[in-house]
């Protein structure tokens, strides 16, 4: 046993253990181990954003607590780490940094810039994860931009294509005019904005007046293909079937009946444009109306827009409104609160465009998703509906192609001669069809030998939605099924509709099996003002600042204890400060224990006193409570229970009560002192073990100084999770509660009388109403005398006088000083 230094230098200790653990290799997954049960964590590979924020601290603390707990439970834990590199976010940043658009440089150059930026960002985030002390197996590290990874993405596409899940279609898609790419429903953010509702007069062809239309998007007038009214609306149903003139472009369209028209909104008459919004898309499909492609890919009006061609959308709106006013067709305008869809990467207003795209047939899987979600264990349970509601809300199949550069290529070609689609063979991947021809070099249909490689690339979620299989070793490892499905998929509440959902549909389609057995959800981090933490709200706290100031062990306590699993968690400096104070308390009691245990020989015979049995039994209860909480991923309950026990039951009550016995063996006897040493030693060890998932560093430091030699584990992190049922002793707990209650009451009285705790009590007369209580107090007389500095202790049975012991109202005492 080595003494602990008085000061606790967390920066030094945390860094030291982070390095040592890596050197020891204790977090390596043992791929050859067939004895231990594996436990696989589907760590979501993050987008490298270049910043490790408090939300990440929350995520990774959750992942790591699960990993550390399971490792101690004897599992062979696979805790991998990848990086989800591709995507619009990186491209947008590269475009901004170099002040150009993707098409203005050769794709190779653009890709290289993206890769450089990603590497820089990965380094920063990795530093954060390391500083937080996560027990990741770094030998598993991967990047989705590496050919070895996108080989798997391409293979999964080929397999799904063969199974009929992939198809090309011309279908309206969400389109970001700034990023110039299709995006999925999940990439559209909705925001409330103030807009304008324009009231515009459309003349009827037969000269029988006109209809007034209310629209927030007059710029779509050139793409108007019909005017719709509700057939039940008596104001307008006489017009159904008539022709009406579209202003400015003077084109005649039909007035059609449509039950989906809300008679109460605007004027009850709507123009159907291709495509102003998703409702237009539905109406056009229902009525098989023609489509007019008004917008170009970069958000301008196309040539079909006549005199407005070439204008950006906003400019076109101004021009059209002006022309309508001049023509006397603009009746009036009013303010309108509306919800608009924004590109989640660049916040540009999302439009709807029709363009040939690749789709995955996801809607046909909706019922399977709902069914499978039921078989998954959700922490917390109510999060399940987030996935099922989302799956049911989807109108369209998943558009998986993107018109971008930095992404996994779609492994198909088209025959130049006949247009036949050629799908890459499974053995060809990784392959970039823009750089290589199909390897059989012949069109199966026309024998043509010239091909055009697909220029579109995959949505980045195509890479990250196969992680459960990839982490397990698919497709190379013959035993990957052993590690699949993942035991837990941890996810932020904000990415259930993407990560959790895409994982589910892709693995169901590929393997007809759930990708994960359980799903652990964490909430968002709020600022101290209760709003979502954000730089613009000035409530933002950078994680490196927190880690540098208070260390990982304090920050992790905030993450674990800040709120119930799944709920949003506010960041409050006092929570981290409290975490820090707890570490100091733990360090101090360990230092005290180290000094008092210098001559302790573990395993030597001793006579346990009532309070020794009491604290050991309480520790056993704590083990049970914490184990239950960890099994249910209720981290806040676990950390609160351990901190309360350590601070109050252990430090304030037990240690204070037995100090005298530890210091003065000559009065109490050597076996009695040994007993206190034993209880102190084992209780502290139990606390350290239970704290490992939350507080790995300082517990390791204390373990190495006080326990490593006797306990024999190379690291506390791989010691077996405590099992202490043998210590349970209900009778001892009851007796101990009385003894501790009495000691506390006496100490309280001294404090109230402004007497020092060391003040001698000449006589302490205790009266208990029943014999059992009196006997209990007698059994603890040694520690009562020592802790309260009593010269003469008298214990009697009967209705006593004096001060009541609040914890046990049938006991009273009087003290003579």
CB of 418 to Zn ion, least distance (A): 3
Q: Are 246 and 217 in contact (CB under 8 A)?
A: no
Strand pairing of 243-246 and 251-257?
Answer: antiparallel
The one segment of 28-36, 128-136, 414-422, 541-549 that binds Zn ion by CB under 5 A: 414-422
Tokens of 135: 């027990």
Secondary structure string (H, E, C) spanning 753-778? CCCCCCCCECEEEEEECCHHHHHHHH
Place of tokens 């309070």: 611
Please tell me whether residue 738 binds Zn ion under the rule CB under 5 A: no
Helix axes 670-691, 635-644, angle to 10 degrees: 160
The one segment of 22-30, 133-141, 413-421, 776-784 that binds Zn ion by CB under 5 A: 413-421
Please tell me whether residue 421 binds Zn ion under the rule CB under 5 A: no
CA 228/CA 266 separation, integer angstroms: 13
Tokens of 671: 């076996």
Footprint of Zn ion on 320-359 (CB under 5 A):
343, 345-346, 348
CB of 140 to Zn ion, least distance (A): 32
| Residue number with CB closer to Zn ion (184 or 586) | 184
| Residue number with CB closer to Zn ion (232 or 418) | 418
CB of 180 to Zn ion, least distance (A): 8
The one segment of 410-418, 484-492, 554-562, 622-630 that binds Zn ion by CB under 5 A: 410-418
Q: Are 503 and 489 in contact (CB under 8 A)?
A: yes
Judged by CB under 5 A, the number of residues near Zn ion is 15
The one segment of 136-144, 213-221, 412-420, 636-644 that binds Zn ion by CB under 5 A: 412-420
The one segment of 44-52, 170-178, 368-376, 649-657 that binds Zn ion by CB under 5 A: 170-178
- Count of C-beta atoms within a 10 Å radius of residue 296: 17
CA 150/CA 161 separation, integer angstroms: 16
Tokens of 676: 């206190």
Residue 804, CA distances (Å) to 534, 611, 767, 796 in order: 53, 21, 10, 14
The secondary element (H helix, E strand) that includes residue 73 is none
Please tell me whether residue 90 binds Zn ion under the rule CB under 5 A: no
The one segment of 52-60, 408-416, 674-682, 788-796 that binds Zn ion by CB under 5 A: 408-416
Please tell me whether residue 602 binds Zn ion under the rule CB under 5 A: no
Both ends of the chain: CA-CA distance in Å?
41
CB of 348 to Zn ion, least distance (A): 5
Radius of gyration (C-alpha) of the chain in whole angstroms = 35
| Residue number with CB closer to Zn ion (313 or 651) | 313
Q: Is 632 exposed, middle or buried (0-12, 13-18, 19+ CB in 10 A)?
A: middle
- Count how many Cα atoms sit within 13 Å of the Cα of residue 222 in the half-sphere of its side chain: 21
CB of 298 to Zn ion, least distance (A): 11
| Residue number with CB closer to Zn ion (181 or 590) | 181
| Residue number with CB closer to Zn ion (298 or 477) | 298
The one segment of 234-242, 305-313, 443-451, 509-517 that binds Zn ion by CB under 5 A: 443-451
CA 217/CA 212 separation, integer angstroms: 15
Q: Which of 54, 145, 166, 176 binds Zn ion (CB under 5 A)?
A: 176
CA 584/CA 565 separation, integer angstroms: 26
Please tell me whether residue 448 binds Zn ion under the rule CB under 5 A: yes
| Residue number with CB closer to Zn ion (449 or 714) | 449
The secondary element (H helix, E strand) that includes residue 401 is strand 401-402
The one segment of 437-445, 530-538, 582-590, 677-685 that binds Zn ion by CB under 5 A: 437-445
726 Cβ contact partners less than 8 Å away, ≥ 6 residues apart? 620
Tokens of 246: 């579209």
DSSP letter string over 185-202? GGGEEEEEEEEEEEEEEE
Q: Which of 179, 373, 552, 593 binds Zn ion (CB under 5 A)?
A: 179
| Residue number with CB closer to Zn ion (242 or 355) | 355
CB of 416 to Zn ion, least distance (A): 8
CA 173/CA 165 separation, integer angstroms: 18
| Residue number with CB closer to Zn ion (176 or 526) | 176
CA 200/CA 210 separation, integer angstroms: 10
| Residue number with CB closer to Zn ion (443 or 676) | 443
| Residue number with CB closer to Zn ion (438 or 485) | 438
CB of 161 to Zn ion, least distance (A): 18
The one segment of 245-253, 416-424, 425-433, 733-741 that binds Zn ion by CB under 5 A: 416-424
CB of 179 to Zn ion, least distance (A): 3
Which residue, among 224, 382, 399, 404, has the nearest Cα to 306 in the 3D structure? 224
Q: Are 200 and 331 in contact (CB under 8 A)?
A: yes
61 Cβ contact partners less than 8 Å away, ≥ 6 residues apart? 132, 555, 556, 559, 560, 694
CB of 55 to Zn ion, least distance (A): 22
The one segment of 13-21, 287-295, 411-419, 764-772 that binds Zn ion by CB under 5 A: 411-419
Q: How many helices (H) and strands (E) does the chain have?
A: 25, 29
Please tell me whether residue 420 binds Zn ion under the rule CB under 5 A: yes
CB of 233 to Zn ion, least distance (A): 38
Please tell me whether residue 443 binds Zn ion under the rule CB under 5 A: yes
Residue 297: phi and psi, rounded to 5, are -65, -25
DSSP 47: P
CB of 164 to Zn ion, least distance (A): 22
| Residue number with CB closer to Zn ion (88 or 486) | 88
Q: Which of 216, 417, 437, 588 binds Zn ion (CB under 5 A)?
A: 417
CB of 454 to Zn ion, least distance (A): 15
CB of 312 to Zn ion, least distance (A): 15
| Residue number with CB closer to Zn ion (98 or 332) | 98
| Residue number with CB closer to Zn ion (459 or 641) | 459
CB of 583 to Zn ion, least distance (A): 45
CA 595/CA 583 separation, integer angstroms: 18
Please tell me whether residue 710 binds Zn ion under the rule CB under 5 A: no
| Residue number with CB closer to Zn ion (414 or 480) | 414
Q: Which of 11, 260, 418, 751 binds Zn ion (CB under 5 A)?
A: 418
CA dihedral 366, 371, 374, 377 (to 10 degrees): -80
CB of 44 to Zn ion, least distance (A): 22
Residue 378, CA distances (Å) to 351, 610, 626 in order: 35, 43, 19
CB of 200 to Zn ion, least distance (A): 30
Tokens of 45: 């590979």
Please tell me whether residue 446 binds Zn ion under the rule CB under 5 A: yes
DSSP letter string over 560-577? HHSSSTTS-EE--HHHHH
Please tell me whether residue 526 binds Zn ion under the rule CB under 5 A: no
Residue 148: phi and psi, rounded to 5, are -65, -30
Please tell me whether residue 423 binds Zn ion under the rule CB under 5 A: no
| Residue number with CB closer to Zn ion (343 or 657) | 343
Please tell me whether residue 445 binds Zn ion under the rule CB under 5 A: yes
Please tell me whether residue 656 binds Zn ion under the rule CB under 5 A: no
Please tell me whether residue 810 binds Zn ion under the rule CB under 5 A: no
Identify any residues that bridge with 198 across adjacent strands, giving them in sequence order: 215, 333
Residue 331, CA distances (Å) to 237, 316, 682 in order: 22, 19, 84
Please tell me whether residue 178 binds Zn ion under the rule CB under 5 A: yes
CB of 347 to Zn ion, least distance (A): 7
Q: Are 355 and 180 in contact (CB under 8 A)?
A: no
CB of 345 to Zn ion, least distance (A): 5
Which residues contribute to the site for Zn ion (CB under 5 A)? 176, 178-179, 343, 345-346, 348, 415, 417-418, 420, 443, 445-446, 448
């Amino acid at each position: 046993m080595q003494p602990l230094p008085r000061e606790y230098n967390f920066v030094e200790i945390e860094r030291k253990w982070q390095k040592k653990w890596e050197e020891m290799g204790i977090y390596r997954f043992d791929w050859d181990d067939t004895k231990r049960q594996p436990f696989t964590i589907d760590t979501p590979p993050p987008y490298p954003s270049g910043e490790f924020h408090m939300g990440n601290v929350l995520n990774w603390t959750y992942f790591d607590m699960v990993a550390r707990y399971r490792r101690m439970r004897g599992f062979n834990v696979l805790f991998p780490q990848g990086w989800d590199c591709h995507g619009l976010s990186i491209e947008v940043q590269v475009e901004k940094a170099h002040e150009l658009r993707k098409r203005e440089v050769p794709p190779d150059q653009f890709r290289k810039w993206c890769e450089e930026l990603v590497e820089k960002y990965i380094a920063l985030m990795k530093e954060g994860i390391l500083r937080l002390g996560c027990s990741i197996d770094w030998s598993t590290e991967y990047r989705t931009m590496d050919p070895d990874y996108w080989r798997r993405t391409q293979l999964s596409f080929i397999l799904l294509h063969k199974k009929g899940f992939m198809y090309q279609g011309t279908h309206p898609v969400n389109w970001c005019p700034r990023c110039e790419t299709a995006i999925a429903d999940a990439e559209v953010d909705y925001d409330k904005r103030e807009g304008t509702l324009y009231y515009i007069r459309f003349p009827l062809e037969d000269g029988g007046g006109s209809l007034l239309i209310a629209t927030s998007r007059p710029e779509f007038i050139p793409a108007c293909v019909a005017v719709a009214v509700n057939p039940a609306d008596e104001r307008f149903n006489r017009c159904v079937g008539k022709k009406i003139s579209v202003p400015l472009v003077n084109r005649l369209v039909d007035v059609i009946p449509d039950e989906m028209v809300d008679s109460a909104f605007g004027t009850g008459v709507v123009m159907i444009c291709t495509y102003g919004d998703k409702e237009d898309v539905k109406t056009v499909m229902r009525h098989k109306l023609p489509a007019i492609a008004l917008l170009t890919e970069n958000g301008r009006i196309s040539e079909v827009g006549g005199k407005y061609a070439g204008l950006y959308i906003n400019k076109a709106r101004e021009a059209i409104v002006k022309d309508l006013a001049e023509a006397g067709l603009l009746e009036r305008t009013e303010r309108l609160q509306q919800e608009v869809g924004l590109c989640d990467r660049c916040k540009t207003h999302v439009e709807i465009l029709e363009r040939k795209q690749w789709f995955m047939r996801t809607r046909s899987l909706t019922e399977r998703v709902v069914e499978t979600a039921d078989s998954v264990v959700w922490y917390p349970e109510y999060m399940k509906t987030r996935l099922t509601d989302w799956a049911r809300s989807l109108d369209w199949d998943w558009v998986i192609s993107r018109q971008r550069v930095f992404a996994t290529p779609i492994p198909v070609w088209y025959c130049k001669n006949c247009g036949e689609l050629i799908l890459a063979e499974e053995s060809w991947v990784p392959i970039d069809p823009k750089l290589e021809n199909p390897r059989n070099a012949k069109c199966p249909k026309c024998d043509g030998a010239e091909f055009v490689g697909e220029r579109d690339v995959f949505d980045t979620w195509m890479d990250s939605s196969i992680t459960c299989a990839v982490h397990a070793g698919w497709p190379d490892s013959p035993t990957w099924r052993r590690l699949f499905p993942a035991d837990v998929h941890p996810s932020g509440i904000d990415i259930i509709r993407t990560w959790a959902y895409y994982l589910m549909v892709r693995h169901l389609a590929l393997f007809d099996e759930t990708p994960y057995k359980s799903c652990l959800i964490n909430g968002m981090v709020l600022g101290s003002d209760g709003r979502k933490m954000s730089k613009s709200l000035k409530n933002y706290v950078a994680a490196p600042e927190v880690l540098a100031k208070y260390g990982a062990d304090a920050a992790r306590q905030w993450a674990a204890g800040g709120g119930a699993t799944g709920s949003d968690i506010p960041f409050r400096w006092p929570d981290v400060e409290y975490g820090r104070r707890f570490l100091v308390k733990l360090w101090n009691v360990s230092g005290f224990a180290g000094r008092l245990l210098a001559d302790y020989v573990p395993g030597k015979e001793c006579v346990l006193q009532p309070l020794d049995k009491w604290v050991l039994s309480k520790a056993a209860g704590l083990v049970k409570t914490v184990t239950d909480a960890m099994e249910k991923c209720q981290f806040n309950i676990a950390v609160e229970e351990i901190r309360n026990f350590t601070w109050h039951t252990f430090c304030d009550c037990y240690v204070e009560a037995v100090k005298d016995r530890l210091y003065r063996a000559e009065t109490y006897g050597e076996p009695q002192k040994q007993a206190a040493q034993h209880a102190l030693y084992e209780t502290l060890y139990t606390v350290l073990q239970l704290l490992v998932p939350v507080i790995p560093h300082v517990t390791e430091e204390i373990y190495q100084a006080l326990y490593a030699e006797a306990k024999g584990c190379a690291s506390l992190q791989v010691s077996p999770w405590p099992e202490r049922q043998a210590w349970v002793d209900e009778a001892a707990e009851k007796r101990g509660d009385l003894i501790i209650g009495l000691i506390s009451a006496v100490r309280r009285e001294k404090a109230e009388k402004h007497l020092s705790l060391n003040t001698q009590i000449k006589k302490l007369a205790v009266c208990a109403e029943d014999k059992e209580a009196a006997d209990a107090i007698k059994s603890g007389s040694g520690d009562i005398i020592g802790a309260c500095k009593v010269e003469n202790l008298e214990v009697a049975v009967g209705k006593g006088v004096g001060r009541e012991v609040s914890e046990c109202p049938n006991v009273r005492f009087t003290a003579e000083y």
